[in-house]
Amino acid sequence: MRKRMLALLVCLVLACLIPSGTGEEIDLSPAPSTAAPDAPDAGSTPPSLPPVSDAPLLETPPMRLNCAAALLMEAESGQIIFEMNADSPRPVASVTKVMTILLTLEQMDAGRVSPKQPVTISQSAAGMGGSQVLLDVGETQDVDTLLKCMIVGSANDAAVALAETLYGSEALCAEAMNRRADALGMADTHFVNCTGLPAEGQHTTARDVAVMSRQMFAHPRYFDHSAVWMEDIDHGDGRATQLVNTNKLLRLYDGCDGGKTGSTKEAGYCVSATASRGGMRLIAVVLGAASGKERFDIARQMFDFGFANYRRYPVAKRGTKVKGRLPVTGGEADGVGLALGGDLTLLVNKGDEQRVALSPDLPESLPAPVREGDAVGRVTVQVDGRPVAQIPVVAAETVEAKGNGIKRFWHNWAWQF
């Protein structure tokens, strides 16, 4: 027993003599990163992809937009370049299916349905009006084929068949669409059906269309079908229906690889399209144009302006060390190292990279204990002195309160004897 007590006393003395702080200086400045941001995880369904800033880069559109509403967004950051009537609620016809497609993609990624899962077409699905793939009652198609019909041909019958498979009925699917819209912060949106066919109380906005489109474009599976121009769908009884993509920008605009169109008398001609060039993806939303050709012409002009004038600029990378050490009171060390708690790639006007500045907002000191990863402040990103985004600053290490070394000793060692 005496030997055990002696060993305990020796260990206690040694523990008290070991310095708890290293005293080493850390990297003195946040360094820009040239690494591309991580691609979205296709298997996850985050509640939202938040934008770096809600404010558009331009106060007014740089061109005349002959439509009811419009918005141009950079997809990775969610930064809006310019907008017009972006928060005016209005019908958007089959652009509504962006949310139906998004829910289907998320359910597939979550494993609730599989791409090859068979779906038997109901009377309600087969009886849908508007654009169709001409599904028959009792016909069987798999989930992935129905998704393709919705993405490529804007098929209402395929949309309802998927809604019933995922949620039991179109009405229950509409409820799920509204819940997802709420989670994405789409404050001016309400869904009544999954197709976009005219319905009392159904509306959204250019901003909300861009938000849900951005979420949809984050799914790699979407692009398996979005660029299909023409394809035959076999009904299994010797009959086939030819799908033709409703998004003519696929052939009209270099770099366009996806989007959703819609048109009704109430909504006018609408499109939410995406194009990628030079590592940058843009989303152009055009609502309420006078003709199909005009909506595509407007989107082309919007894309041209965005690609000609802007580039993605890597400002900061998660884990980059921040200058100096922040004082800690009552701790085993008198300071704590700091690091950036997030990545940021900013959309900037070409040539304006030198106008980007970082302004730290940190407390004078922190009380111990401080845990590694604790949020302790933020860095405001400014362009020409105008705040455009914020990056969290976190503790890069743990600093225990004074006396915690003895507590840890007794917890980890003493009770083993």
What do you get for the CA distance between the two ends of the chain, in Å? 10
Which residue is catalytic, options 154, 226, 263, 272? Answer: 154
Helix extents (H) in 168-309: 170-183, 206-217, 223-226, 249-252, 292-309
Q: Using DSSP, state whether 50 is helix, strand or coil.
A: coil
Q: Active site includes 122? A: no
Which residue is catalytic, options 97, 148, 248, 260? Answer: 97
Q: Active site includes 317? A: no
| CA-derived radius of gyration, the chain | 27
Residue whose C-alpha is closest to residue 163's, from 111, 204, 103: 103
Separation of alpha carbons 368 and 327, rounded Å: 10
CA 383-301-279 angle, to 5 degrees, is 55
Separation of alpha carbons 337 and 335, rounded Å: 7
Tokens of 147: 């998704």
Which residue is catalytic, options 33, 53, 77, 94? Answer: 94
Q: Where are the beta strands (DSSP E) in 33-151?
A: 69-74, 80-84, 118-120, 140-142
Q: Active site includes 365? A: no
Distances (CA, A) of 407 to 4, 8, 400, 414: 19, 14, 11, 10
Separation of alpha carbons 307 and 301, rounded Å: 10
* Residues involved in catalysis: 94, 97, 154
